[in-house]
Structure 1
């Protein structure tokens, strides 16, 4: 009898435990459903907010040729309004603007030296006078004055610093003032793998590109609360007039150092800019550096 009673008690305890488990599971399911509902609502709001960036106003510096040209054309093909900045190649910039308009976008050309604060301020004034805002800034303009450190003259150092780093700072400062008011915007800075690993004969250039990467992370931290993301792209050897002029014997050495065994294409950089600048899926990416180098700098 005692054994029977003990057995019955165990069965009752099991029933109660099962009931508790079912109630617990039910509660957990209700909580999960509530959380899912809140998450969906939040996600919908976030996606809606981010999608408003698509087909927005984009400023691309150094956009008359090379990587900058490809970026401007890519954003224009996405239906954006693109400010095509140039320093000296007016005809090439106007050609880019014409191609953007043919693809369904809008474009204006603005001549401005990105090493001069007054030019940068005028650039953003012209953009806002025309379109009222800035949604995406791509800092692409850059120059080189290569030579070994022991031979580098002060003006060779300073000129590269002024355009490649100080200009990026002032352009970003101007753009984020506009973006912060509406609490949305995206900044993409074109750095270089040289900013990650250095390069003999490019102390000035490497310093600016490493500085751009660090600056990008700071912008990402300072403006995250304002709905602004900031990321940098570090291209490796990208097909250009410069790579076309490389002696064949040196080209073989360069290509052997690239796992993919080829130069990158400007359009491959432009595709990542489009994603980071316009795609809702990039809304949670900030403060990152993306190397587009065929695997050259992989660890």
Structure 2
């Protein structure tokens, strides 16, 4: 894919993977980056970095769970800065908690941002791309969209759903010359996961590594872009030995959660 001179819209652009993708695309010669996130001040910081590189940056403070606001913002953005050639759906949130201790408001928040917000943005952009008969949509899923992780049940569910959504759109929108790609980072060292109890044996990627993998995958025309050798090993292991991979997932669960589980089991046995 030729990126020079293109206009790109990125959600979740104020930090982490979204920020790294925005900066990498600016280095690749993208003409204009429309940056979407909830906090305007953080977007302005990223926009300043992008403009130093030489690309135009347009910060748009927006909560993608607010459907009416999203409709208005996308219409105005397309009118003022379109057409948009590339959409990167990177906005997401994760809560790490054992399922039995999970709370409905957190579950609803993950679904609202990770799935419904992505759907709303994609529907609005894809319809316009179909009229111009060109475009690329990148949906950021996760390795947890292939292999579910204990303590991340709802997050894993949303990431599995994103892969199904992406596959369906890939087949539907190809008739309109719209390419749809899934990006699957593994554990990435971002602000979102800094307070997580990390899984053992997993070496985290950096946001910059994820961004570079995205560019490489786009150039190769890969429909699903994995990040890092551990991801490839995990996916192949899950295909060939799914029961073993489930055991490894349990063994990799953060130690303090395993201790808590053993204590509860011991308490149940003593009754």
Shorter-chain TM-score above 0.5: yes
Aligned-partner Cα distance in 2 for 1:214–1:78: 29
| CA 1:242–1:108: 2 relative to 1, 3 Å | closer
Deviates most, 197-206 or 114-123: 114-123
Aligned-partner Cα distance in 2 for 1:293–1:104: 29
Aligned-partner Cα distance in 2 for 1:123–1:294: 39
**Partner SS state of residue 197, structure 1:** coil
* Residues 127 and 134 in structure 1, CA contact (< 8 A), matched pair in contact too: no
The structural deviation recorded for 1:181 is: 1.0
**Partner SS state of residue 163, structure 2:** helix
The answer to whether the aligner puts 1:289 opposite 2:240 as a matched pair is: no
TM-score by length of 2: 0.79
Aligned-partner Cα distance in 1 for 2:17–2:79: 27
The structural deviation recorded for 1:276 is: 5.0
The answer to whether the aligner puts 1:269 opposite 2:269 as a matched pair is: no
The answer to whether the aligner puts 1:173 opposite 2:114 as a matched pair is: no
Q: Could you tell me which runs of 5 or more consecutive residues in structure 2 were left unpaired when the two chains were aligned.
A: 238-271
Question: For this pair of structures, how many residues does the alignment match?
Answer: 233
Which residue of 1 is the match for residue 266 of structure 2? none
Larger radius of gyration: 1
Residue from 177, 184, 189 that aligns with 2:134: 184
* Residues 88 and 138 in structure 2, CA contact (< 8 A), matched pair in contact too: yes
Residue from 136, 140, 164 that aligns with 1:214: 164
**Partner SS state of residue 189, structure 1:** strand
**Partner SS state of residue 124, structure 1:** helix
The structural deviation recorded for 1:158 is: 1.3
Residue from 107, 112, 116 that aligns with 1:157: 107
Aligned-partner Cα distance in 1 for 2:41–2:140: 23
TM-score by length of 1: 0.72
The structural deviation recorded for 1:91 is: 1.8
Which residue of 2 is the match for residue 87 of structure 1? 38
The structural deviation recorded for 1:149 is: 2.2
| CA 1:122–1:75: 2 relative to 1, 3 Å | farther
**Partner SS state of residue 229, structure 2:** coil
Residue from 145, 149, 159 that aligns with 2:95: 145
| CA 1:130–1:273: 2 relative to 1, 3 Å | farther
**Partner SS state of residue 143, structure 1:** coil
Aligned-partner Cα distance in 2 for 1:61–1:242: 15
| CA 1:244–1:144: 2 relative to 1, 3 Å | closer
Q: Could you tell me which runs of 5 or more consecutive residues in structure 1 were left unpaired when the two chains were aligned.
A: 1-49
